[in-house]
Amino acid sequence: MSLAEKDLSPQPLAPAAHGRVYNFNGGPAALPLPVLEQAQAEFLDWGGSGMSMLEISHRDKRVVRMVDGCEEDILGLLGLGPEWRAIFLQGGASLQFAMIPLNFAPDGAPADYVNTGMWSDKAHKEAVICGSKARIAASSEQDGFTCIPKKIDYDPKARYLYLTANNTVRGTEWRSFPKDAPAPLVSDMSSDFLSRPLDLSKFALVHAGAQKNVGPAGLTIVLIRKDFAETGKKGLPHLLDYRTYLSSNSMYNTPPVFGIYIAGLVMKWLKGTIGGLANMAAINEAKAARLYGAIDGSGGFYKGTAKEDSRSLMNVTFRLPSPELEARFLAEGKDRGLHGLNGHRSVGGIRASIYNAVPPEAVEALIAFMADFQKTA
């Protein structure tokens, strides 16, 4: 039975159900339970092939149709027209840090970067290594990366403006994107991809590691405007040239087939169960509002680390009065079935990643634990 035929109405999931916990990991992260159940049901025999998706050839016509269908669903969810393509790569967002400047700002060509923390900083440094004349056009470093910069010093000759849509480490997110940039926008959207509707009219390329909102680690999704791809440098190694993936429908070499398969099931869940990205955004906004409300209403016991107008809907970061209390909070949280709440290793603290597949029940369980913990601290 396919996902489209199953009853996929969201079901409350207690930590003990299926032996599962509430998963707040920053990535790899939670996947929708119906998607996991579907993959489990057809793990040994996918589509009557007598083979697992892990075994079947990527050249099999059924697999090719599956890959094409995943691309079509992604573009459809975002309302993108024929000028856009979705392609499937490997190497994570980190490989995109190099592929983008190698293609679009090679040989000393200028490019603008907005530094909002670790991942955009890495992207900028990689662009410099790749020979681009990459400059920081705006940064929130002076504010401890607690906000999104308000002003950007554009280079009118920049080939693109690069930004990281959501900072998983610091818990900040672009709620709206620059509209006055003279260059096309390029963005790492790994941690908020398909969490809300997007107007991509100012964008030329979006990339996302799948392991936050879309699928397992090992798959990278790139949305690219076809005319932008054609401006890329010629003569690059084939696997570093976006045109290679466009001309081969992501089949130049063996793609991450299982990751694409899971992503395709997630697309069906977003369409059939959730009802599209507007509904997904409403669910995510409600989850975040509840959790930020608990933080702000704690009388200062819990303190959010991001400025209010830049708070992420995906990664809620906060601190407790002492590192010792934070360690106890994490340990007791695990005892309550709340896993993955530790902050990024570079900053510490607490981080609740409440991606698409984290159900509202998980957030309510966390809020209840926070209230109980504060009473006994």
Active-site pick, 46, 174, 212, 241? 212
pLDDT band at 1 (very low <50, low <70, confident <90, very high): very low
Please, are residues 298 and 150 in contact by the beta-carbon 8 Å criterion? no
pLDDT tens readout for residues 48-71: 999 999 999 999 999 999 999 999
Catalytic: 192?
no
Q: CB-based contacts of 313: which residues, under 8 Å, 6+ apart?
A: 173, 192, 195, 196, 284, 285, 287, 288, 354
Average pLDDT over residues 128-145: 97
Active-site pick, 46, 119, 174, 269? 119
Question: Is the pLDDT score of 7 beyond 80?
Answer: no
Active-site pick, 188, 192, 268, 269? 188
Please, are residues 110 and 124 in contact by the beta-carbon 8 Å criterion? no
Separation between Cα atoms, residue 152 and residue 147, nearest integer Å: 14
Catalytic: 119?
yes
Catalytic: 202?
no
Topology of the domain covering 277-376: Aspartate Aminotransferase, domain 1 (3.90.1150)
Sign of dihedral through CA atoms 142, 342, 221, 219?
positive
pLDDT tens readout for residues 246-266: 999 999 999 999 999 999 999
Domain boundaries, the chain: 61-271, 277-376
pLDDT tens readout for residues 167-187: 999 999 999 999 999 999 999
Average pLDDT over residues 284-305: 98
Per-residue confidence (pLDDT) for residue 206, from 0 to 100: 98
Topology of the domain covering 61-271: Aspartate Aminotransferase; domain 2 (3.40.640)
Q: CB-based contacts of 33: which residues, under 8 Å, 6+ apart?
A: 11, 13, 18, 20, 357
Per-residue confidence (pLDDT) for residue 18, from 0 to 100: 60
pTM of the model: 0.93
Average pLDDT over residues 270-298: 97
